[in-house]
Every structure is written in structure tokens, then in C-alpha cells.
Structure 1
Amino acid sequence: VFDSYNIDDDFENDFSKYNSEQFWDNFDYNKYKTKIQELAAEFSMYEIDENFVTIKAGELYSPRYYNFDTDNIELTVEFDKVKLLENLDKNDFNTFLKENYSYYDGFYSFTANNFDEWYIDYKDEKETAIGALLTYLFKDSEYQESFNLYVYENIGFYSDFYIN
């Protein structure tokens, strides 16, 4: 969210008492993490079309080392299984499954790559089937872009996260 170039520019123009290196050395990650969680909670009531999917944000997790993992945010997803299926373009979804869940060298999928097999797993409420459907529904959504914009507009200034 914060750009070292802007921090250095502010420092060079006497708008800040520290450069980007000093800022990152004194960055209050816990305060930043708390703010992102607050913003996610405010933003999290995202609904698709007919009000049959609701997402609520929870805890934010950041790994100690990024070479093994990445930032994650816990989400609670509530949805109406029947309405989701009623509003699903089965042919397009079948193509999506084939493109994203077919086996290839180096990739073993635990999700069916065709609608008929996927539907059996969906009726059995298997997480992989539900995850595939939600991924499909959000693949073209502006949810991520909207959230990023919301954070940029509401995070405050980088100086708010500097430990004095």
C-alpha cells in the first residue's frame, strides 16, 4: 500500500522526518495488520446479484517468512446452494472446470474437471466443489479491485504506521 518512492520524495521535500529505509525499519506491522482487518470487516459485506452470497472478513495472517507462504485473510462465506445453481451457466462453468481443474504434468487436481462429477461432490458439500464454484463466480468480479481501492482510500497516511 505504501510506496518507498513517495516516502523518499516526501523526505527530500521536507514533508517527512524519515526516508523509506528508516520508515520500513520502524514500520508498525501490528497496527497496519489491525487496520487492514478493520477495513476488511467494513468492506466485507459483498453480495452477488440476487443476495445469495455474503462474505465476511476475519483474521489476517502474515507469515514470518514469505518464501514459504503469503498473506491470507480468513473469510466466512454464506450462500444459498439452490440459488447458486439456478444462476449458473452450466456450459461456461463446465469449460471453467476443464480449464482449471484438469490434470497435467506437475498438477494433480482434487476437484472434478467436469460438471457431472463436480455436481456429485457439490451435493455432498465437499469443500473443493464449493471452492470451485465460488472461484468461478468471482473470477470476473471486481471484488478484489474494489477492496484494494477501498484500502487505498481509507488506510490513512504511511506516517500513521511509523513507530516514533
Structure 2
Amino acid sequence: MLYLTPYFRLTQEEHKALLALRNQEAILRYTPTQKEIAFSDHLAWVETLKSNDDALYLALKDEQIIQGAIHANALKSCSPSWGLFFDPTTSPLVTSAVALFFLDTLFNHYRAHSVKSFVHVENNPALKFNERLGFKMRDTQPSSFCTMALSHEEWQMKKSSKLFQPILKTASQLTIRN
């Protein structure tokens, strides 16, 4: 059974698994700092999430196994930014369903007008993934990251397409467990 749970609800072992996934070279090379995160630094940062109602960091679990994570910052704004990473062996259906579920949460629960994504310009799989979700390129200057955005209106049109229906069915089975 797949479900999402807040980072601050994870066990020490689950944090180790999450961080091991986040620090994989395939993921690390597309992060802004491109540096591994130390376990103690990760745990100290997670403590700050308990009182931060402007950010949402969720781990994807299949039973007790960490499969990936999805997050959003600036939830109180009309245009939060999001990001995600998954174990490379995670099914594309699952990654897509989690993304659709989360985007729907941002637009409907948090009332976002648009969602932003900052993607490394060389991360072609992430760029294509976002484009399939309806994100449009905004800029690529002045760094190695580009800004993409998805408006609420574009999201409503995209999610009503026939292509998304099987994915939305899977997404409807996801829950956030506190």
C-alpha cells in the first residue's frame, strides 16, 4: 500500500533510507549545491519542519520502504514551488500518480494559482516529466536551473485529458498519513 507521510514522522531508519536515496549521484548532480547532506544536518533541518506551515515535505512509502519524496515550499503564497525525487526503480505510473496527487493537493487544498518548478537545465527526464504534466518554461537565466510553471487553469485542462485518467485513478488511492 502506497502512502505519503511527513518527514518529521519518519523513524531514524527511514530517514537514513530517504537520505541515502537523496544522496545518490543520479539525484545529487541535479541539486543546487550538488553536495551530499550529512545525516545530522538532515535531522536538524527536519526538526524545523514541525513548526513550518509554509512547507510540506512528504516521503513516499510502500509498506515500510521509502520510494521517494515530494515537497513544496512557500505554501502560503499563490505560487508555491515543488520538487520530487524517487528511487530509479519506482514505476513511472507510481511517480506520475504521486505527482498528480500532490499537484491536485497544492491547487485544491492550498489554493495555489500556479506551481513553480526549478529544474537543472541538463536534467532532461525532469524537464520532460514536467512538460507532460503541463509545466511551461519560463526562463533559464542566469544559472544552470530553469523555472517552469503550471497555472491552475492549465492544470484543470491537463488533468481532464484522457491520457491522465488511468494515472488519476491510481492517484485517488493515495493518502497522506500523519
| Same-fold call, TM cutoff 0.5 | no
The structure that is helix-richer by fraction is 1
TM-score w.r.t. length of structure 1: 0.28
TM-score w.r.t. length of structure 2: 0.27
The structure that is strand-richer by fraction is 2
